[in-house]
């Protein structure tokens, strides 16, 4: 007889650890740091605290690494600590389709539990937690994850004295491989570029201390929760929202539960749909909901508000690029207005640095040699750098589909342009659709690819103007050189013809050439 049973999500992820970013030991170590830092930054910003994060990676023996990540965030109240950290799909940041949400780094309630699971899978050891909230004493415990039930197992619970006001510290041991380039250190460097308000201290496995200091002393404006936008919503979601709403009429439901629907647009939706505005939401049939949905799509509405998002900003992108690429001869950036996919607001920002000498300074690594040939693409989502699965990412796809030749830069089909270019793309969204739970690449939703292409096109055109101006300058210079070359002969000839002294004639000619050069 076939045996049917329920499967715990933790058993599923234990077997599918590659979905969570733990498919090889280098990536595993980076994923661990990334998940912890993402959570710390989110927590500090939520608390209104300037983030101060201390990271340490030790390598006591072989491939075992002892890692600790400590922040000055709000900590987690004792009754939630274990579940938030060691239970999959448990947390504060996930919002259902149709629920109001705002931009944050974590969004799934999966990442940090995955780290704890991976530590226990590779070393068999529990993870040590110290959590201090402002209200409680410091709570300290060891955590494992009972995978057959998706429940945390708590041992060694203690309450400790500390001078710390609040914060969370996670200490764990796991197997891994440490890599500096495009590894933990680069991840922290890029994180610091996109989050200049954070102070990050890192002690690497060799004991070197690296400080990524604060560039600004002010927190970015906190994004505000935003309701679903009527454009792009699906029928199933609308039906679910109708069933769940607290609004008494469909009319008030439209105004209360959606973004950018006011009395006027609600009226227009009802005119378009031929429905009764005063009917109760839970009395709406499937067919009526379909009519309502079609009307919602047709009525013209404002774009979603921008305050649900926290972009890096054009000026900051340019500043960051200037700092990192001092030899760049041209730097620009461009921000698109907020757009919508599946009723979810998102915004694309692109920065670009160009310069023939850009990659030649500094240490010559194999990496930098390669970069000198192909443009470098740096991807961010919600201010988090992405290092893996580049070729599957909507950002990469949009950038390679951009007609770079038109902007004066060579490019072979389906590849990044071949030029000394750095392209930075940031996609900020209330909900970023990643291609897997490991959150390393954005899924190829056409609306998202389109916006990225538009943004890249904007900086591309600016680059093209720079390159043409450069070409014109060279052409002009070449012309001037020709005049100079024959200036002496022309002076002799004119001197012969007119009888005036050659040096005088030459001086006039040279003066004219100089004038045109300026």
Stretch that binds its own copies, among 261-269, 352-360, 443-451, 474-482 (CB under 8 A): 443-451
* 421-429 and 344-354 strand pairing: antiparallel
Find the distance separating the first CA and the last CA of the chain, reported in whole Å: 90
Judged by CB under 8 A, the residue of 134, 286, 485, 515 near its own copies is: 286
Question: Rule CB under 8 A: is residue 148 a binding residue for its own copies?
Answer: yes
How many positions of this chain bind its own copies (CB under 8 A)? Answer: 63
How many other C-beta atoms lie within 10 A of the C-beta of residue 403? 12
String of DSSP letters for 432-466: --BSSTT--SB---HHHHHHHHHHHHHHHHHHHHH
In angstroms, the CA 356 to CA 361 distance is 11
Question: Rule CB under 8 A: is residue 8 a binding residue for its own copies?
Answer: yes
In angstroms, the CA 500 to CA 494 distance is 8
In angstroms, the CA 62 to CA 60 distance is 7
User: 384 has which bridge partners?
Assistant: 381
In angstroms, the CA 188 to CA 210 distance is 10
Question: Rule CB under 8 A: is residue 360 a binding residue for its own copies?
Answer: no
Judged by CB under 8 A, the residue of 435, 454, 467, 513 near its own copies is: 435
Question: Rule CB under 8 A: is residue 97 a binding residue for its own copies?
Answer: yes
The nearer residue to its own copies, 56 or 390, going by C-beta atoms, is 390
Judged by CB under 8 A, the residue of 189, 240, 298, 502 near its own copies is: 240
Structure tokens at 247: 């609004």
Window 57-86: residues binding its own copies (CB under 8 A):
74, 80, 83-84
In angstroms, the CA 237 to CA 418 distance is 44
Q: Please state the closest distance from residue 170 (CB atom) to its own copies, in A.
A: 17
Please compute Rg for the chain using Cα positions: 29
In angstroms, the CA 260 to CA 305 distance is 8
Question: Rule CB under 8 A: is residue 14 a binding residue for its own copies?
Answer: yes
Stretch that binds its own copies, among 245-253, 318-326, 434-442, 484-492 (CB under 8 A): 434-442
Structure tokens at 411: 């490019």
Q: Please state the closest distance from residue 412 (CB atom) to its own copies, in A.
A: 10
Question: Rule CB under 8 A: is residue 272 a binding residue for its own copies?
Answer: no
Question: Rule CB under 8 A: is residue 5 a binding residue for its own copies?
Answer: yes
Question: Rule CB under 8 A: is residue 493 a binding residue for its own copies?
Answer: no
Stretch that binds its own copies, among 210-218, 233-241, 365-373, 419-427 (CB under 8 A): 233-241
Window 188-227: residues binding its own copies (CB under 8 A):
none
Judged by CB under 8 A, the residue of 26, 46, 59, 68 near its own copies is: 46
Q: Is the dihedral of CA 460, 465, 471, 477 positive or negative?
A: negative
Q: Please state the closest distance from residue 108 (CB atom) to its own copies, in A.
A: 7
Question: Rule CB under 8 A: is residue 2 a binding residue for its own copies?
Answer: yes
Question: Rule CB under 8 A: is residue 16 a binding residue for its own copies?
Answer: yes
Q: What phi and psi values does residue 169 have, to the nearest 5 degrees?
A: -130, 130
Structure tokens at 478: 């070449």
Q: Please state the closest distance from residue 69 (CB atom) to its own copies, in A.
A: 19
Task: Give the count of alpha carbons within 13 A of 360, CB side only.
Answer: 8
Question: Rule CB under 8 A: is residue 232 a binding residue for its own copies?
Answer: no
Question: Rule CB under 8 A: is residue 122 a binding residue for its own copies?
Answer: yes
Stretch that binds its own copies, among 178-186, 252-260, 435-443, 503-511 (CB under 8 A): 435-443
Task: Give the count of alpha carbons within 13 A of 449, CB side only.
Answer: 15
Q: Please state the closest distance from residue 279 (CB atom) to its own copies, in A.
A: 17
Question: Rule CB under 8 A: is residue 391 a binding residue for its own copies?
Answer: yes
Q: In the β-sheet with 199-203, what is the strand arrangement from edge to edge?
A: 151-160, 138-146, 127-132, 167-175, 64-70, 52-61, 199-203, 209-212
Contact 22, 114 (CB under 8 A): yes
In angstroms, the CA 260 to CA 265 distance is 8
DSSP reduced 3-state for 174: strand
Question: Rule CB under 8 A: is residue 134 a binding residue for its own copies?
Answer: no
The nearer residue to its own copies, 52 or 290, going by C-beta atoms, is 290
Question: Rule CB under 8 A: is residue 165 a binding residue for its own copies?
Answer: no
Question: Rule CB under 8 A: is residue 236 a binding residue for its own copies?
Answer: yes
Q: Please state the closest distance from residue 5 (CB atom) to its own copies, in A.
A: 7
Contact 14, 24 (CB under 8 A): no
Structure tokens at 165: 């006001």
Q: Please state the closest distance from residue 97 (CB atom) to its own copies, in A.
A: 5
Token look-up 């070409």 returns 471
Q: What is the largest CA-CA distance in the chain?
A: 117
Judged by CB under 8 A, the residue of 49, 50, 58, 125 near its own copies is: 125
Judged by CB under 8 A, the residue of 234, 357, 367, 477 near its own copies is: 234
Q: Please state the closest distance from residue 34 (CB atom) to its own copies, in A.
A: 18
Question: Rule CB under 8 A: is residue 251 a binding residue for its own copies?
Answer: no
Instruction: Give the interface with its own copies as residue ranges (CB under 8 A).
Output: 2-9, 11-12, 14-16, 18-19, 23-24, 46, 74, 80, 83-84, 87, 89-92, 94, 96-97, 108-109, 117, 120-125, 147-148, 234-237, 239-240, 286, 289-290, 389, 391-392, 431, 433-437, 443-446
């Amino acid at each position: 007889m076939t045996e049917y049973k329920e499967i715990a999500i933790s058993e599923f992820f234990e077997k599918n650890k590659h979905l969570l970013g733990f498919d090889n030991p280098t990536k595993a170590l980076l994923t661990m740091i990334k998940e912890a830092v993402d959570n710390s930054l989110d927590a500090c910003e939520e608390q209104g605290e300037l983030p101060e994060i201390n990271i340490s990676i030790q390598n006591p023996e072989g491939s075992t690494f002892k890692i600790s990540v400590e922040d000055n965030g709000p900590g987690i109240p004792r009754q939630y600590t274990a579940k938030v950290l060691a239970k999959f799909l448990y947390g504060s940041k996930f919002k259902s389709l149709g629920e109001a949400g705002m931009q944050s780094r974590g969004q799934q309630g999966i990442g940090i539990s995955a780290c704890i699971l991976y530590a226990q899978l590779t070393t068999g050891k529990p993870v040590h937690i110290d959590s201090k909230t402002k209200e409680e004493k410091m709570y300290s415990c060891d955590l494992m994850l009972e995978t057959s039930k998706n429940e945390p197992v708590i041992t060694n619970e203690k309450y400790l004295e500390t001078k710390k006001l609040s914060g969370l510290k996670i200490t764990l041991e796991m197997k891994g491989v440490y890599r500096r380039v495009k590894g933990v250190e680069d991840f922290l460097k890029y994180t610091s570029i996109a989050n200049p308000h954070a102070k990050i201290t890192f002690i690497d496995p060799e004991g070197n201390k690296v400080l990524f200091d604060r560039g600004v002393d002010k927190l970015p404006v906190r994004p505000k929760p935003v309701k679903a936008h009527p454009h792009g919503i699906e029928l199933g979601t609308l039906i679910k929202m109708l069933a769940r709403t607290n609004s008494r009429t469909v009319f008030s439901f439209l105004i209360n539960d959606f973004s950018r629907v006011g009395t006027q647009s609600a009226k227009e939706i009802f005119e378009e749909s031929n429905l009764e505005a005063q009917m109760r939401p839970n009395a709406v049939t499937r067919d009526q909901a379909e009519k309502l949905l079609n009307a919602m799509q047709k009525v013209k509405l404002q774009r979603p508000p921008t305050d649900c998002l926290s972009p890096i900003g054009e000026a900051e992108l340019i500043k960051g690029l200037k700092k990192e690429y001092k030899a760049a001869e041209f730097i620009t950036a461009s921000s698109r207005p907020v757009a919508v996919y599946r009723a979810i607001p998102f915004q694309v920002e692109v920065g670009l640095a160009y310069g023939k000498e850009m990659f030649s300074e500094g240490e010559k690594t194999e990496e930098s040699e390669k970069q000198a040939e192909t443009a470098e693409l740096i991807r961010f989502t919600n201010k988090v750098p992405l290092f893996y699965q580049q070729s599957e990412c909507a950002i990469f796809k949009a950038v390679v589909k951009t007609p770079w030749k038109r902007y004066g830069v060579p490019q072979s089909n389906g590849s990044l342009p071949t030029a000394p270019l750095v392209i930075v793309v940031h996609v900020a969204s209330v909900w970023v659709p990643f291609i897997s739970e490991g959150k390393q690449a954005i899924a190829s939703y056409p609306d998202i690819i389109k916006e990225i292409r538009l943004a890249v096109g904007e900086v591309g055109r600016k680059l093209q103007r720079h390159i043409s101006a450069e070409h014109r300058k060279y052409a002009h210079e070449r012309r001037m050189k020709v005049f100079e070359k024959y200036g002496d002969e022309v002076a002799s000839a004119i001197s012969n013809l007119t009888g005036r002294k050659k040096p005088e004639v030459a001086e006039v000619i040279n003066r004219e050439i100089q004038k045109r050069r300026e």
